[in-house]
Amino acid sequence: MSLSQAIAPHLPYLRRFARALAGTQSGGDAYAVATLEAILADPAEVEDTPDLRVALFRILLRVWNSVPLNEAPNPDSAIGTEANVQRRLEALPPRPRLAFLLQAVEGLSLPRISETLSCSQDEVADLLAEANKDISDQLATDILIIEDEPIIAMDLEALVEGLGHRVTNIARTHREAVIAVGTQKPGLVLADIQLADGSSGIDAVNDILSEIEIPVIFITAYPERLLTGLRPEPTFLVTKPFNADAVKAIISQALFFDRRSHRADSAAVNG
């Protein structure tokens, strides 16, 4: 296989990461082209690499740090959610921003981020923690927890408050969740699927989303009830037993990108 054939499947990811870094499509594409030119000048940098995407990202970051191809992005040139995201990115320090983008946008694991940024995994964890803290400072909000297990609910409450958010209510049933939202509208919902009285967290979330559009994160021991291969599926899903750092990261991503949730097809997820 030629080098161009090997690189081709990774080009969409290279462009996506470059555009996220630059803040504009044209700026990102210019950096992606400069990255490919650097590879043509020295193909040995990516030949026989075990992880070609990471190698491409490493070269992109080297180009990014050495060649000022475009001016600082102007958030006013974007609109809506795109503009909001760009402003939030610009508020993050450079290294935490890189780590956050590699995790949140590119979905890289800690070891792959470590390799991309040429630092230890502990340093990556610190960078991500700093990014999550900065994002929480920017976007502190009220959060509703829908969870019937008291210990898990307490763990989630401590985690949420540790990020600087406020828990408005902890609901154990479908009815309690709907009443809680009617009393005080949250900016984010953390929801289990199977609730105390046998009611469904999915139905509770659907009723909530019929009133307001907000991000929802499902935290459940039954992911198969949502990951059916049908649409819509949840944007954010955490499997129990959960890792606290993973939940923190997903909360930050949900608020940062402001991905609104939409009603699920109850027949699909329950059938």
Could you tell me the mean pLDDT of each successive run of 10 residues in the chain, 271 residues long?
87 89 83 93 87 94 74 48 67 86 89 95 94 86 94 94 92 95 93 89 90 88 66 67 86 77 46 38
Residues whose CB falls within 8 Å of the CB of residue 259, separated by 6 or more in sequence, listed in order:
215, 235, 236, 253
Please give the CATH number for the structural domain made up of 92-139: 1.10.10
pTM: 0.70
| Other CB atoms within 10 Å distance of the CB of residue 260 | 14
Nearest Cα to 143, choosing from 212, 191, 190, 201?
190
The two tokens of residue 245 are 């750092």
Give the phi and the psi of residue 146 in degrees, each rounded to 5. -110, 100
- Position 259 scores a pLDDT of 56
Per-domain residue ranges of the chain: 1-76, 92-139, 141-270
| Other CB atoms within 10 Å distance of the CB of residue 85 | 17
Sheet of strand 236-239, all strands in order from the earlier edge strand to the far edge: 166-171, 142-146, 188-191, 216-220, 236-239
- Position 234 scores a pLDDT of 54
Three-state DSSP at 2 gives: coil
Asked if 26 and 70 touch (Cβ cutoff 8 Å), the reply is: yes
- Position 252 scores a pLDDT of 85
Nearest Cα to 231, choosing from 190, 263, 187, 193?
263
Tell me how long the chain is: 271
Domain 141-270 bears CATH identifier 1.20.120.10: no
CATH topology for the 1-76 domain: Butyryl-CoA Dehydrogenase, subunit A; domain 3 (1.20.140)
